[in-house]
Structure 1
Amino acid sequence: MTAPTSDKTTALRDALAARDGIDATATDIGLLILRIGFGGLFAVHGAQKLFGWFNGYGLEATQGMFDGMGYNPGKLFGTLAGLSELGGGLLLLLGLFTPLAAAIVLGTTINIVNVTWSAGFAVWEMGVLFALAAAAIAFTGPGRYSLDAGRPWARQGVLWGLAAVALAVVTGVLTLILKAAL
């Protein structure tokens, strides 16, 4: 009886990593820490916007803030931002549908950087940091300690990373076009 493909893939990856002097388990633990920390913090940003949790403003104030930033109607864009941050962050935290989760977060960060750009580096640097973390996870995948691990839908690598980045750029730019048009 042969092992399932995911077991073969994991064994091959571990063998190649060992050959190259890489500790695959340490890499997977590093990805777990990154996903839980970054995904969790991003989800908290969404919960602040949507529910006012963690000393956030709540949905009504968030929607007003989005109106003030030129994202009209603020009800649509504020809600969308909160849902994207909460949903994308939770998916990253869990390591579930990882390329899509990374695309959601990365698309959101494109708008974060756009809004904060004119305020200078000290303000937009956090958005860029978020974007870099999301892009890195899009390419590496969630690691072995995730809900995607060993599942038929699990995707990672250059092609899936590029697809996630492309989806993020398209949705992020589309949001900016809608902001300008509405």
Structure 2
Amino acid sequence: MSTNTAERHTADLTANPDKFAGDIGILVIRIVFGLILAAHGAQKLFGWFDGPGLTQAGTGFESMGYHPGKFFGTLAGLCEFGGGLLLALGLVTPLAAAIVLGTMINAINATWAPGLFGKGGWESPLLFAAVALALAFTGPGRFALDHGRPWQRHGLVWGVGAFVLAVVAAVVTLVFKWIL
């Protein structure tokens, strides 16, 4: 950012601090949500944060009908870890949101039996899916690595595109779950 641009942003903030309130709200959501989701992925991949690690996660995925469990556990961990970090940074936001949303569609499928609020139910994956989809539509806000870059995308078309990509990826994953 050039000095003139930085001075202009500082002047904007001083003159009208409410102009940035929405961007700050989105920043808080992105960072908290993205880092929590990345931590979930790190639990599966590396066993961090009292997580199961890859071998145990693979066994868990096998018990949910995802064969081979280690492959699907790795895929889910990478999607949560990578998608979460990308959302926290505000980088390639529609793609990151699609990655997270597709993963959460599979998580909803895997936790469907207990119901929405049953023990081990799908309320958390639904909440995570909703936040990811909302970020696909709104974009990452002003305080993001995407902001002002040629690849920055958000809005109706990009939100719908992220949704469609997520559903297609989730369906392909579920088809492989059912046939393998």
TM-score by length of 2: 0.88
For residue 149 of structure 2, what is the aligned residue in structure 1? Answer: 151
Pairing of 1:107-146 with structure 2 (within 5 A): 107-122=102-117, 123-146=121-144
Pairing of 1:72-111 with structure 2 (within 5 A): 72-111=67-106
For residue 4 of structure 1, what is the aligned residue in structure 2? Answer: none
For residue 24 of structure 1, what is the aligned residue in structure 2? Answer: 19
Which of the residues 65, 68, 75 maps onto 1:70? 65
Does 2:32 correspond to 1:37? Answer: yes
Distance of 2:49 and 2:160 partners within structure 1: 34
Shift of 1:121: 1.5
Distance of 2:164 and 2:100 partners within structure 1: 13
Distance of 2:19 and 2:177 partners within structure 1: 44
Where 2:73 maps in the other structure, the secondary structure is helix
Q: Identity percentage over the alignment? A: 61
For residue 168 of structure 1, what is the aligned residue in structure 2? Answer: 166
Distance of 1:121 and 1:160 partners within structure 2: 28
Distance of 1:61 and 1:82 partners within structure 2: 12
Where 1:134 maps in the other structure, the secondary structure is helix
Distance of 2:30 and 2:73 partners within structure 1: 24
Shift of 1:144: 0.3
Gaps of 5+ in 1: 1-6
Gaps of 5+ in 2: none
Distance of 1:148 and 1:121 partners within structure 2: 34
Query: Size of the alignment, in residue pairs?
Result: 166
Where 2:112 maps in the other structure, the secondary structure is helix
Which of the residues 169, 172, 179 maps onto 2:177? 179
Amino acid at match of 1:161: G
TM-score by length of 1: 0.87
Shift of 1:72: 0.1
Shift of 1:76: 1.1
Q: Which runs of 4+ in 1 moved over 2 A?
A: none
Shift of 1:132: 0.5
Does 2:54 correspond to 1:54? Answer: no
Shift of 1:75: 1.6
- Aligned-residue CA RMSD (Å): 1.8
